[in-house]
Chain A
């Protein structure tokens, strides 16, 4: 069956360190993958999109990699700050031709301590 897995346990790191979050998937062939941030009581907010033919994408302190062989995406936040504390969701298109239908992972909660 199709599955998206993110670390269910919260990730606690010290301010200034690099946070690395993992998204693994099985039985999908996504054309692209997206990462969203969700704060408590709010809707998810889009951060980055990476396509299947892209290995890496960067935006300010954020970096995403996409390995279609390993079926894995890594999301990095460098020089992390307490304001980066949130839940981060990965989402895949369901592979049926750019329909916009996204399947979301359960999310990983990041806590950055000062």
Chain B
């Protein structure tokens, strides 16, 4: 298996633009997680899905952020409009079930908002 796949790996955009990050979880995994990592705040959970259904989005910073999982093999995280404070590395992770299973992280998308 190729592991969790994220695209793009790097994104540079201007303030106010829409940004869409993409994730393909490991085949057969039922849970998907979106995280954001910054030096100041560390690794923070934004939202997670179980069987394509959003379970907890309490970590989503504000209404500018939205996430979807239309099927078991694809998820998106959208920021509209983007702001410089959104600059961070965004990770997607998947696990077999939502319980105590290991989470497998993707390589991340480094987002820079100018």
Q: How far is the CA of A89 from the CA of B44 in the complex (A)?
A: 12
B50: chain A residues at CB < 8 Å are 100
Any A CB within 8 A of the CB of B107: yes
A104: chain B residues at CB < 8 Å are 42-45
Q: Which one of B12-20, B61-69, B76-84, B95-103 is at the interface? A: B95-103
Instruction: List the count of A-B residue pairs having beta carbons below 8 Å apart.
Output: 59
Any A CB within 8 A of the CB of B93: yes
Q: Which of A6-57 contact B (CB under 8 A)?
A: 31-32, 34, 41-46, 49, 51
Contact between A46 and B106, CB atoms less than 8 A apart:
no
Number of chain A residues whose Cβ lies closer than 8 Å to a Cβ of chain B: 23
Any B CB within 8 A of the CB of A99: yes
Contact between B55 and A43, CB atoms less than 8 A apart:
no
Any B CB within 8 A of the CB of A102: yes
A-B CB contact pairs (8 Å), 9 listed:
A31-B100, A32-B100, A49-B102, A89-B43, A99-B99, A100-B50, A102-B45, A106-B42, A107-B43
